[in-house]
Amino acid sequence: MILLLIWIPNSSHASASSQVEHYIIFMESAVMPKVFPTPFHWHLATLSSLEALIYSYSHAIDGFSCALTVAEFQALQKSPGYVHSIKDLPVKYDTTHSPKFLGLVSTPGRSGAWEASNYGEGVIIGVVDSGVWPESRSFDDHGMDPVPPRWKGECETGTQFNASSCNNKLIGARVFTRGRVARNMTITMNSPRDEEGHGTHTASTAEGNFVEGEEESFFGYAPGTVKGVAPKAHVAMYKVDNGSFTSDYIAAIDWALRDGVDVLSLSLGFDDCALYDDAVALATFAAVDRNVFVATSAGNRGPMHGKIHNGIPWVLTVAAGTIGRELGAEVKLAGGGASVFGRSIYLGSYSTAEAPIVFLADCSSATEIRRRGAGRVVVCHVDKHTPGDPFANLQKNSGVIVGAIIISPSIIPDAALYFTFR
């Protein structure tokens, strides 16, 4: 008998020990050896390879972001100057009688903030978001002062974005992708150009220039002059894609502080994150210490108790509330039938006697909507337990059905209102 012993290495242990994690490392700059000319050189020397370093920070925080194995991270924790670390987590974006409520509008006997500040003239607002669409009329520089001499930023070029994209209104634009590149993620638009619209929306809300014309309305609602809260302020965009990581986010704030912004607008954040591990809190502390005003968003998870993020003592956290108006609509049944009141962005008056109504439960099947709803007004009952996306199913059949009536105990997402029927 021959006894054959085969040794099988523990592949799971080997792979775990060599697995790379991404971290944000906080360092004590006071202990940096004088032999290093800059924090970047010190951070690089602290790591075992150039490839491990993602960003070096010296304004928003003192430290760097890196990719390390477990063993390398444990060794780093023993290095002189190491203070704290957090995981490099994904960042999530957040999405109006506001001018009057904020005291921007002058009233008899009282000068509003718009008049007192000349609409934010000379202020530089840095927006960390999904980028900017420079062709938007909100970023036209008519009536704007020249770029302030103190401005140190630049207009980075890239895919569908060149130096001429910037002007006296949009005075700077940068893009931050190293956190995603370190994970071998695809970069579809390697430039400050906005692919999602979120950054263009938030930037124009904060400091969009005056845009006049009767065509400037939303499906006919609110026609007239469109403007941001500070229409004469300058804007600089620091692009961080949705789904990017903490490392990119801190780098964006770090460069905004280097460039010389007066205000930071941050409509993104982290849910369920302790203050001492929250990159927004840690990076904005340095901003406030430099007399930079910081406005952040409260998140999209309201109105339940304890659901805001960016609840940071040293920043202004902004949340939306209910408003005293609605986009109303009325559906009248033919033959002197009942009237039903609801919401819609459709401003027209549509009448037909040839469109029967059909109830299709929760409209969870696009196929069923097409089969039974063709040429009819579809009625759906939608709640939080509805499977799939009934609004997407309706949109797929928008050329087949006449219209839709949604019955819901909760607020219907805005996205559900952004398409029309035949």
Cβ neighbours around 306 below 10 Å, total: 7
User: What's the CATH code, domain 92-318?
Assistant: 3.40.50.200
Q: What does DSSP say about strands 63-69 and 53-57: parallel, antiparallel, or unpaired?
A: antiparallel
Q: Give the DSSP letter of residue 208.
A: P
Which contacts (CB < 8 Å, 24+ apart) does range 361-367 have?
362/386, 362/387, 362/390, 363/390, 363/393, 363/394, 363/404, 364/388, 364/390, 364/393, 365/393, 366/392, 366/393, 366/396, 366/397
User: Within its chain, how far is the Cα of 318 from the centroid?
Assistant: 14
User: What's the CATH code, domain 16-87?
Assistant: 3.30.70
User: Within its chain, how far is the Cα of 407 from the centroid?
Assistant: 30
- Which is higher by pLDDT, 183 or 16? 183
Mean pLDDT in residue range 402-414: 75
pLDDT of residue 233 exceeding 60, the answer is: yes
Mean pLDDT in residue range 2-6: 32
- What are the residue ranges of CATH 3.30.70 in the chain? 16-87
pLDDT of residue 354 exceeding 80, the answer is: no
Two structure tokens written together for 249: 């986010």
- What are the residue ranges of CATH 3.40.50.200 in the chain? 92-318
Predicted confidence (pLDDT) per residue in 315-338, tens digit: 999 887 766 667 778 888 877 778
Predicted confidence (pLDDT) per residue in 174-199, tens digit: 999 999 999 988 888 999 999 989 99
Among 81-85, 301-305, 394-398, where is mean pLDDT lowest? 301-305
Which contacts (CB < 8 Å, 24+ apart) does range 151-154 have?
151/124, 151/234, 151/259, 151/260, 152/258, 152/259, 152/260, 153/236, 153/255, 153/259, 153/260, 154/259
The amino acid at 120: G
Return the pLDDT at 13. Answer: 45
Q: What does DSSP say about strands 263-266 and 268-269: parallel, antiparallel, or unpaired?
A: unpaired
Return the pLDDT at 17. Answer: 59
Among 144-158, 224-238, 272-286, 361-375, where is mean pLDDT lowest? 272-286
Give the confidence band of 400 by pLDDT, cuts at 50, 70, 90. Answer: very high
Mean pLDDT in residue range 217-238: 86
- Which is higher by pLDDT, 35 or 271? 35
Give the confidence band of 411 by pLDDT, cuts at 50, 70, 90. Answer: low
